[in-house]
Structure 1
Amino acid sequence: MELYGGLISEEDLDSVKAEWMEPLTIKYRDYEVNTVPPNSSGFQILETLKILETLSPEKIKFQDPDFIHYFMETTKLAATDRITHGGDQSIKVTPTEKLLSNSYAKYQSTRISNNKVNLLAGEVFNPDAPQGALTSVDLNAYDGGMTTHFAVADKDGNVVSITQTLGGGFGSALAPEGTGIFLNNMGNWFDLDSGSSNQIGSSRKQDFCLSPTQTFKNGEFYASVGTPGSWGIMQTTPQMIVNLLDFDMNMQQVIDSPRFKTIGGKRVQMEGRFPKALVDNLKNRGHEVVGLPDWSPSVGGGHGIKKDQSLGSYQGGADPRRDGYAIGT
């Protein structure tokens, strides 16, 4: 980087130290779902699940119009909170205890109407939110393309789940001599707004979307799922977790099932394999459906492992939307 006039030195890189952190955990039905804490934005995944959990089990039906509408609206509420509260924890601490509480999930559920489509403001880098877009709740006043994911498990029961990114195409397009490793360009995810919890600066940690998950049942490993996909990670991952935990799919079905992604305003991308009757129903409610191909990399490239707790065997799944495969050795 210094060779090409960059501002980052070898000493800067040497000063960065990896930190061991406790995972962020929620109880979802009979399972414990874990992901990485802020400055990662994985809390959006967990908030989505907590709001969905307010539904009675009989209302959680695969590709049911009422449930899919509720799921879409839930992702908007959780994304709005992530945009408001995410960022460098040395500047502003994300109130995850409140955001992931049962009482807050119940309150958020009251903001969802079966016949109304809320407006999503869009990402933090979009200054032009549509009029009437969702805003985050005042919690102080409230009472009560170059990203990859992989998971590895061994015979001793150790499981590692990693989501890694270069950012843009080939990252910064720089590979230190002799390493064969491209350097990422994720610094462009910082912003320049004074006072922002995501403002660029020395030793700052940006609001980051990479959010691998691990799920446990009765204290034992049950499954790991994750995906690339930028801010869409936090929408794709809960869809896979619901397929896994609510619909009891095998890992390949979990990953193969068609996906959606809310993208701002009333717009929502949907893969072409969703039934036409479902899509028409959502359009009639006010969703502006943007059609995707049957299998679209726009909604991620998930990979996962599921453990049969009675047999001790593992089941892997890989996403045909992007490169990847499942293998046992």
Structure 2
Amino acid sequence: MRPEFNSRRSCVVCTKGCVASSQHLASQIGIDILKAGGNAADAAVAMAATLNVTEPCSTGIGGDAFCLFYDAKAKKVHSVNGSGRAPSKLTLDLLSQQGYTTHKPFPAQAHGHAVTVPGAPAAWVDTVEKFGSGKLSMLQVLQPAIELAETGFPVQELTATSWSKGSYLLTDPNNIHGKDMLLNGQAPKHGEIMRFPLLANTFKELATHGKAGFYSGRVANAVAEVVQHHGGVMTTDDLANHVTTFEDPISVDYKGYRVWEVPPNGQGITTLIALNILEGMDLTGMGHNSVEYIHTLVESLKLSFTDTAWFCADISQVDVPIPQLLSKGYAARRRALIKPESASRSIQHGSFNVGTDTVYFTTADQEGNACSFINSNFMGFGTGFVPEGCGFTLQNRGSGFSLDPKHPNVVAPNKRPYHTIIPGMVTDAESNDLLVSFGVMGGFMQPQGQVQTLMNMVEFGMDPQRALDAPRVCVGGPYGFDSSIMTVEEGISLDIVKNLKSLGHTVEGPLTGENRSYFGRGQIITRGPVFRGKLAGKEVTPTLWAGSDPRADGVAIGYCT
């Protein structure tokens, strides 16, 4: 029987601390960490590890992580890029010699070349060390996830569905240790108890030895070995040389709301370009999810994605024109390309002279700090490759590279690929006070989901839960961007679909039931009722408001004492 997605959750309101995630056990552990004296960063990392246990078909220590941390004392947003890099021996020449080209790329999930160095474990340690409370050790932060992995947990309904869909990767005879992620050789069913003792041991090594517990020794050897077994060229040196980077976040001012993102190689710049374009439109006057609104939204997203698909690349190796892409003048020129009476058919990226499953979760603590955190394997279990004795799968982020030698995102040694996962944050453009910590997971749906949920709050006055409940649209799909197709969700009427088609849009859907996960799964915490206007959140002790997406198994939890 298909699960229904009708939500009648009230928005969670509290004062001391709050968390929201796609798994209720992760949310509960986040609250426990806050109550034990940890702050928003500590709670986020504890939840990241817990989600690896309870939702390994979306995330894990074999993947990557990005984070935005709001420091309440300094009123400053910090950015953590925890994405991994290509192996030092992975060159375009090597791929060409092996017969891989732009028109015939290596398999996205069935080849070792798809694996980049996992960045999540280093990001976890670095986030706690740089932004944590200092009151809890790494072992204390990871201990709840370790205990859950050892003692077992009941699998949630939507997670069981995703686990089953991805289980073919784990049962592949060439994936020798895939069985470690199964229960009696099969994906666990809803309510069945799953244990991960091998993953618990991996967590213990990270907790005890820090980053060296993952990037050297037994775990690193196992990772390199399984990647090479599947045709990749990753070595233990590639793992040992991995570092997290702390970069200045990028932002734009949308009508007094300053929206923050991690800079490229993450696709958060897509959100910001779209917001700049939309800022010049009367969205409120159009009406929520009206034909005019959806048309304008989709055309703006097409323009922003077209730019991102070309310019988004590793800024340590490529000169990405971020100031130009985020200028208001450029947005005005792009906005002028939108035709109210018809859908665009062919869009080119801008030109400047210059020298693509996931879990998202968010936390806020009583000191006013917040952490917007996202962790991912990319496509479900990623490659599905399981290192011997480790209890996790490896991501397939390497499939995000281009094999076009002229493309800024072309594959190269020690380079980070185009990355889909993006945490979001909003502050008051004048005071720098925190307003929103939010994100929507789901591949190329992520910036689209961020824009739609943010507009739901600031343009249409919805609280965080209502903003997440509202039906969405998606241009292209979660694992690729195709500007010629728009998919709509149940709740958008057939009359609206008909009128969108009359404008020249190719529309699929409405999608119903469990297929609504296509539109991403978000979490939101606001400080104060900012959806009633920015000034509404400026009490001396602002209330935290939170929502959790009905398209996932999760929940928002808060506390007051």
* TM-score where L is the length of structure 1: 0.89
Report the equivalent of 2:363: 152
**Based on CA coordinates, which of the two structures has the bigger radius of gyration?**
2
Q: Residue 195 of structure 1: which of 400, 406, 413 is its match?
A: 406
Instruction: Provide the residue aligned with 1:108 in structure 2.
Output: 334
Match of 1:307 among 520, 527, 534: 527
1:243 aligns with 2:456: yes
Deviates more, 1:172-181 or 1:213-222: 172-181
Deviation, 1:67, is 1.9
- Counterpart Cα distance in 2 of 1:294 and 1:236: 17
Stretch moving more, 225-234 or 83-92: 83-92
- Are residues 1:289 and 2:507 paired? yes
Residues 313 and 408 in structure 2, CA contact (< 8 A), matched pair in contact too: yes
In structure 2, what is the equivalent of residue 298 of structure 1? 518
Give the AA of the match of 1:306: T
Displacement of 1:213 in angstroms is 0.6
Q: Closer, same or farther in 2 for the Cα pair 1:313/1:175, shift >3 Å? A: farther
CA-CA distance at 1:70 after TM superposition: 0.8
Within 2, Cα distance between the matches of 1:135 and 1:59?
29
Change (3 A) 1:2 1:211: closer
Aligned residue in 2 for 1:7: 233
What pairs with 1:45-60 in structure 2 (closer than 5 Å)? 45-56=271-282, 59-60=285-286
Deviation at 1:237, TM superposition (A): 1.1
Paired position in structure 1 for 2:53: none
Report the Cα distance in structure 2 between the residues aligned to 1:294 and 1:306, rounded to whole angstroms: 29
How far did 1:191 drift? 2.6
Kindly provide the CA deviation profile for residues 125-144 of structure 1, in whole angstroms up to 9, marking residues without a partner as x: xxxxxxxx211122349xxx
SS in 2 for 1:161: strand
For 1:327, the equivalent position in structure 2 comes to: 557
Residue of structure 1 equivalent to 2:432: 219
Q: 1:64 to 1:180 in 2, by over 3 A?
A: same
Q: Percent sequence identity over matched residues?
A: 28
Q: Which sits farther off after the overlay, 184-193 or 157-166?
A: 184-193
Deviation larger for 272-281 or 54-63? 54-63
> Would the aligned equivalents of 1:117 and 1:266 in 2 still touch at CA under 8 Å?
no
Q: Distance in 1 between matches of 2:400 and 2:371?
A: 26
Higher deviation after alignment, 51-60 or 170-179? 170-179
The equivalent of 2:494 in structure 1 is: 276
* CA–CA separation in structure 2 for the residues paired with 1:326 and 1:58: 28
2:393 and 2:496 map into 1 onto residues whose CA distance is 43
Contact 1:60–1:246 (CA under 8 A) maintained in structure 2: no
Q: CA deviation at 1:57?
A: 5.8
Deviation at 1:180, TM superposition (A): 3.5
The Cα of 1:277 is off from its aligned counterpart by: 2.8
C-alpha spacing 1:91/1:60, structure 2 compared with 1 (3 Å): farther
Partner of 1:129: none
Q: Does 1:173 align with 2:384?
A: yes
Q: Which runs of 5+ in 1 are unaligned?
A: 120-132
CA distance in 1, matches of 2:456, 2:242: 38
Using CA pairs below 8 Å that are at least 6 residues apart, which structure has the higher relative contact order? 2
1:52-92 per-residue CA deviation (whole Å, 9 max, x = no partner) reads: 00114653421222122111111101011111211122443
Matching of residue 205 in structure 1 with residue 416 in structure 2: yes
Decide whether the 8 Å contact of 2:492 with 2:510 is kept in 1.
no
Question: Contact 2:302–2:483 at 8 Å: present in 1 too?
Answer: no
Matched residues in 1 for 2:279 and 2:311: separation? 22
1:80 to 1:57, Cα distance in 2 relative to 1, 3 A: closer
Q: Distance in 2 between matches of 1:201 and 1:140?
A: 23
Counterpart-to-counterpart distance in 1, 2:233 and 2:252: 41
Does the Cα contact within 8 Å between 1:227 and 1:236 map onto a contact in 2? yes
- The secondary structure found in structure 2 opposite 1:11 is helix
Report the residue type matching 2:381 in the other structure.
F
Which has more helix, going by share of residues?
A: 2
Structure 1 Cα separation of the partners of residues 295 and 402 of structure 2: 33
- Classify 1:97/1:150 alpha carbon distance in 2 versus 1 (closer, same or farther; 3 Å): same
Deviations 1:216-265 (A, max 9, x none): 12311111111211112121111111112111211001111110011235
**Which one-letter code corresponds to 2:279 in the other structure?**
E
Compared CA separation, residues 60 and 179, structure 1 to 2 (3 A): farther
Contact 1:266–1:286 under 8 Å retained in 2: no
Alignment of 1:98-137 (within 5 A): 98-119=324-345, 133-137=346-350
Aligned residue pair count: 313
Question: Which whole-Å CA distance do the structure 2 matches of 1:107 and 1:118 have between them?
Answer: 15
Q: TM-score, normalised by structure 2?
A: 0.53
Please report how far the alpha carbon of residue 179 of structure 1 lies from its aligned counterpart in structure 2 after TM superposition. Answer: 4.6
Structure 2: 5+ residue stretches without partners: 1-222, 477-481, 529-536
Indicate if the aligned counterparts of 1:227 and 1:237 stay in contact, CA closer than 8 A: yes
CA contact (8 A) 1:222 1:307 kept: yes
Q: Given the alignment, which residue of 137, 140, 163 partners 2:374?
A: 163
* Letter in structure 2 aligned against 1:254: A
